[in-house]
Structure 1
Amino acid sequence: MVRGNSGNEARNPLTPAEFAAIGDGHIAYVKPILSQDLNALFPEAPELEPGLELFALLGADGVPIVVADTREALIESAREHELVTVSLH
């Protein structure tokens, strides 16, 4: 967030909580993950063989929503829940 309207004034960045609140309930992001990292985000998920490429949908605040084996399936799930998706690189 820029405070003031001059290019010479100091900028005060958003706090992590302010940044997450911007998209709360409206924006989710797609994060590619590997199967060995699945349980860190989704502790209740079953153990999978390592090395599988998965995709996680996380809320703007970083809360895990759902995981899928294809990006397309995740995008469709987000649409069904009226979430706008962005990719995380």
Structure 2
Amino acid sequence: MNTKIDFSHLGDRVVYVKPVAVADLPQEVQAQAEGLDELFAVHNADGVQLALVADRRMAFLLARQHDMSPMTVH
């Protein structure tokens, strides 16, 4: 499938949610992960990490609470 989708109507309010392996994070963050193997990062369009949360649902809720449009990154 190669369908182009125009997201320009969303402006700069788009954020991207992606899974992050806890093992790939700094030790201090791993210590706070409370046994989780995966966290979810929220990034702006420039790739700056805005948040790191425990699950995907929370990442989407957080984005929407801040009037952002979350998109999943694969």
User: What is the TM-score of this pair, normalised by structure 1?
Assistant: 0.59
Q: Residue 47 of structure 1 aligns with which residue?
A: 29
- Check whether the contact 1:36–1:51 (CA below 8 A) recurs between aligned residues: no
Q: Which runs of 5+ in 1 are unaligned?
A: 1-21, 40-44
Offset, 1:47: 3.4
- Name the larger-Rg structure: 1
Offset, 1:48: 1.1
Offset, 1:73: 0.6
Tell me the matched-pair count: 62
Q: Which runs of 5+ in 2 are unaligned?
A: 1-9
Between 1 and 2, higher relative CO (CA 8 Å, sep ≥ 6) is seen in 2
User: What is the TM-score of this pair, normalised by structure 2?
Assistant: 0.70
1:1-89 to 2 correspondence within 5 Å?
A: 23-24=11-12, 26-39=13-26, 46-48=28-30, 52-89=37-74
Runs in 1 of length 4+ with deviation above 4 angstroms? none
Cα 1:79–1:51 shift into 2, 3 Å = closer
